[in-house]
Amino acid sequence: MGAWAIAVHGGAGVDPNLPKERQDEAKRLLTRCLDIGISALRSNVPAIDVVELVVRELETDPLFNSGRGSALTEKGTVEMEASIMDGPKRRCGAVSGLTTVKNPISLARLVMEKSPHSYLTTPGAEEFAKKQGVEMVDNDYFITEDNVGMLKLAKEANSILFDYRIPTVGTCGAAVDSHLQMNGLPISVYAPETVGCVVVDKEGRCAAGTSTGGLMNKMSGRIGDSPIIGAGTYACELCGVSGTGEGEAIIRSTLARDVAAVMEYKGLNLHEAVDYVIKNRLDEGKAGLIAVSKNGEVACGFNTTGMFRGCATEGGFMEVGVW
C-alpha cells in the first residue's frame, strides 16, 4: 500500500492587482475541493473517481473557467472542453465544443468507458451525451454576468483574452500594444481560468482531468489544450498531470506528457520533471501544471505571475496558494 496525494488548480496567470477578496474566494473553493478529494481518498475511492468528483465540483461553481462560468466565444456563447485519463492502462476520454452538457468531465469519462473512441466533438459529443442520459441544460446556464462584461471589454479592445488581467484600452477604444503573443499574433489578456485535478490513490494508481471554457472572445470552434491527451492532461503508471495557461503553447510542447517522459527517459523525480518541463519546453509560452507520482509525491510549477492551486498528501501536508 502506498500513500495518496491530490492537487487541484484553477488556472495559471494571475493579475498582481487581483483584489484580496477575489483571492480569498478562490482559496476557499480550492480548499473545499481538496476536502472533498481527501474525504474520498480516505474512504479508498479510486483515483479516477476522485478526479471526476473534484472536477465536477469545480465545473458547478461559477468562479473558475469551466462548466458554469465558462469563458464566452466571440458570439457570446459557451463552448466547453474536457478530458480525463486513468493511468494504470492509460485509458482516456475527451470532449470539445459542448454547449449543453452540465458537467463536461463526466461526459469525457463516459467517452472513455462507454464508447469505442477516445475523443468526441460536436455534434456527435452531445448526441452521445443524450444517449447516455447525462444532465443537459440550456447554454444560458453557463453564462454569468461577469463574463458578459469581460466579453464586452474584449470586443472593445478587439482582442482574444486569457489570464486574470483586464485588457488595456486606449481613449478611442483601441487596444494598447501587448507584448504577449499567441501563435505569433499579439493579444491582450484577461479571462477566467481552466480547472484541473490530479490524484494518486493508496494503490499507486494515478489519474488526471482538466476542464475549461477556453479563451474569452475566442473564435467559435477553437480547441485548446485541455481536451488533448498529452498536452493538457496525461496519466500513466508513473504520474498524473494537468496543465493550464496558453493552450497553443501547451499543445506545441505536449506539456503533460513531457513530465512523464523525462521521468521515464531521464530518470528525474516528479519535482525535477515538473521544473525541467516548465523551464525548457514552453519556449515563450506561459503555463503551469500540477502533478502527482505513483509514490505519493505532489508538485506544481508555473512561469506565470501566479497559479490558483492546492495540494494535500496522506502525510498531513496541505497547501492552498495563488502566487
Is residue 175's pLDDT more than 70?
no
Mean pLDDT of the chain: 90
Q: Does the annotation mark 194 as catalytic? A: yes
Give the chain's domain count: 1
**CA distances to 180, 234, 241, 293 from 200, in Å:** 35, 13, 11, 7
Catalytic option among 99, 100, 194, 313:
194
Q: How many CA atoms lie within 13 A of 98 on its CB side?
A: 39
Q: Is the pLDDT of residue 184 over 70?
A: no
Q: Is residue 322 part of a domain?
A: no
Residues paired with residue 300 on neighbouring β-strands, in sequence order: 290
Out of 140-144, 167-171, 279-283, pick the least confident: 167-171
CATH number for 284: 3.60.20.30
pLDDT computed for residue 19 by the predictor: 85
What one-character DSSP code corresponds to residue 146?
H
Residue 23 lies in a domain: yes
Flag whether 49 is in a domain. Answer: yes
- Binding residues are 222-225, 244-247
* CA 18 to each of CA 51, 62, 116: distance values in angstroms, whole numbers, following the listed order: 28, 17, 44
**Preceding amide of 116 cis, omega within 30:** no
In DSSP terms, 9 is beta-bridged to 196, 309
Mean pLDDT of 252-258: 97
Q: Cell 452531445 identifies what position? A: 126
By C-alpha distance, which of 235, 229, 231 is closest to 252?
A: 231
Is residue 187 over pLDDT 80?
A: no
What's the whole-model pTM score? 0.91
Residues 173-180: contacts with CB under 8 Å, at least 24 apart: 180/286
Cα 235 to chain centroid, rounded: 14
Joined together, the cell numbers standing for residue 27 give 482559496
- Band (pLDDT 50/70/90 cuts) for residue 161 is low
- Dihedral (C-alpha) 272, 275, 276, 281: value to the nearest 10 degrees? 150
Q: Work out the pLDDT band at 260, boundaries 50, 70, 90.
A: very high
Specify the residue for cell string 500500500. Answer: 1
pLDDT of residue 284: 86
Range of the domain at 214: 5-142+188-300+307-315
Residue 242, in any domain of the structure: yes
Segment 255-261 shows an average pLDDT of 98
Residue 178, domain member (yes or no): no
Q: Cα(first)–Cα(last) distance of the chain, in Å?
A: 34
- Residues found in the chain: 323
Question: Is residue 163 one of the residues assigned to a domain?
Answer: no
**Across 174-201, average pLDDT:** 60
- CA–centroid distance for 21 within its chain: 22
Q: How many other C-beta atoms lie within 10 A of the C-beta of residue 321?
A: 14
Rounded CA separation 56/195 (Å): 10
pLDDT value at residue 55: 98
As annotated, the binding site for substrate includes 222-225, 244-247
Please list, in sequence order, all residues whose beta carbon lies within 8 angstroms of the beta carbon of residue 128, skipping any fewer than 6 positions away: 107, 110, 111, 115, 120
Position 48 in a domain: yes
Residue 286 falls inside a structural domain: yes
Q: 220-232 pLDDT, tens per residue?
A: 999 999 999 999 9
